[in-house]
Chains A and B, each alone.
Chain A
Amino acid sequence: MGKKPSLGRQKIVIARIPKKNHLQVTFSKRRSGRFKKASELCTLSGVDVGIIVFSLASKVFSFGHPEVELIIDRFLARHNLPPLDTSAHHQLFEAHRSVNLRELNMILTQVLDELEVERKHGERLDVMRKASQRQCWWEAPVDELGLCELEQLRTSMEEMKMNVEKLTSKLMATLLLQMVCHFQGLILD
């Protein structure tokens, strides 16, 4: 369950990456990062943005707010006024879209916050686990244990497993009984 440590932020030379795999991964990550930054720019500043990116395999990725095609048309037509459709219908549409985006961003923020909480929790657990491992030999990863220790551990665990199963069955039985009584009670009422 150990996490592979990533290399973190490293300084890189801004020149064509020679290795092919590395390039593909870099492309993927950075392209995704650009879209994310563009999305944030739109949300925070309320501006219209368009990005088009071609991959080496000549596939095209595009991001646009409000839409890629609208941005392109606007650019090509060289009319630099924002689309001035002030019809009530359009305004309603725009308002609706704004609200929708706000809600989506709120949901995203919520999930990201939860993720952060769980990550921190995970770190704490990891620290505890490592500290505990230093003191208790049986907590070390299986690969680090010797034969004698392993056999000892196996015996203890098998016994514990039996007890856990016994306990689980008992608990299940009690709960099922409770459920039955509960339902009977409901029916009688």
Chain B
Amino acid sequence: MTRKKVTLTYIANDGARKAAFKKRKKGLMKKVSELSTLCGIEACAIIYSRYQAEPEVWPSTLGTRRAIARFKNMSEMDQAKRMVNQQGFIRQRIVKAEEQLKKQLRENREMEICQVMYRALVGQPLQGLTILDLNDLGWMLEKTGKEIEERIKKLKNTALGSEQAVSAEPTADKGSEGDNSEAAPKNNSALDDVVAAEAMQNRPWYMEFLKPCKEGNTANLGQNEPLPSYPCGNLTPPWSNFYFP
């Protein structure tokens, strides 16, 4: 079966609608049956159509009656708790889709900012970025900086292999306070990621005023002073082409 995108509207064409109905009805019955078998649970399906007087049911008339009886035996609350009609169901789908959209937008944004960061690292000027971009860039630098810091610590840990060496390290690490266990950095970074993700969402209050990318928002200030590139310390080649002059 080809995976075509389905348009969620009533099929006007009678022939097409009838064909779709037959196919989907068959598919639905089959899948309900599969669900029942795979999970060992009881279920029933009732489909009315305008082409037949009797509804089509699964598993059988008797089976359906039994399921209905079991259903009715439950308390009103239990019945209603997970009952849904078209409206409710479509609303649920909308909510879920919107959440996925939000998540995807955020992921895409992170990837884009990351790209900006890496390009800037090799000398691409920061002109043309809006305040929002700069803000997110700062956040990304912070986040990556933390990851680098932790990784450096970890490597130094394993290299030197002693607690004393680590506590003598003057690194400005705000995260774990002298906690040298391997587990701690991991936990911190997990929490940091959550916090950081929210931080990217909760921009400072004034950001809301500056939302749309207007001409005036871009960093025209840079015209007066050349933006520095980022020398990578005093290390000699092989990294000499690390940044463009």
Majority DSSP secondary structure for residues of B touching A: helix
A27–B159 Cα distance when bound, in Å, is: 49
Q: Is A95 interfacial (CB-CB < 8 Å)?
A: no
Q: How many residues of A contact B (CB 8 A)?
A: 109
Contact at A47–B41, with CB atoms within 8 Å?
no
Q: How many residues of B contact A (CB 8 A)?
A: 111
Contact at A60–B141, with CB atoms within 8 Å?
no
Please report which residues of chain A, range 54-91, place their CB below 8 angstroms from some CB of chain B when the two chains form the complex: 54-56, 59-68, 71-72, 74-76, 80-82
- Do A44 and B39 contact each other (CB < 8 Å), given the known contacts A60-B78, A72-B71, A105-B9? no
A34–B55 Cα distance when bound, in Å, is: 18
How many A-B pairs fall under 8 Å by CB?
A: 321
Which of A74, A111, A125, A164 meets B48, CB within 8 Å? Answer: A74
Contact at B87–A43, with CB atoms within 8 Å?
no
Look across to chain A and name the residue whose beta carbon is closest to the beta carbon of B49: A47
Contact at B86–A65, with CB atoms within 8 Å?
yes
Give chain A nearest CB distance to B130 CB in angstroms. 8
Contact at A52–B71, with CB atoms within 8 Å?
yes
A108–B28 Cα distance when bound, in Å, is: 21
Contact at B34–A45, with CB atoms within 8 Å?
no
B87 CB contacts on chain A under 8 angstroms:
97, 100-101, 104
Give chain A nearest CB distance to B194 CB in angstroms. 14
Give chain A nearest CB distance to B111 CB in angstroms. 4
Q: Is A180 interfacial (CB-CB < 8 Å)?
A: no
Contact at B126–A27, with CB atoms within 8 Å?
no
Q: Is B112 interfacial (CB-CB < 8 Å)?
A: yes
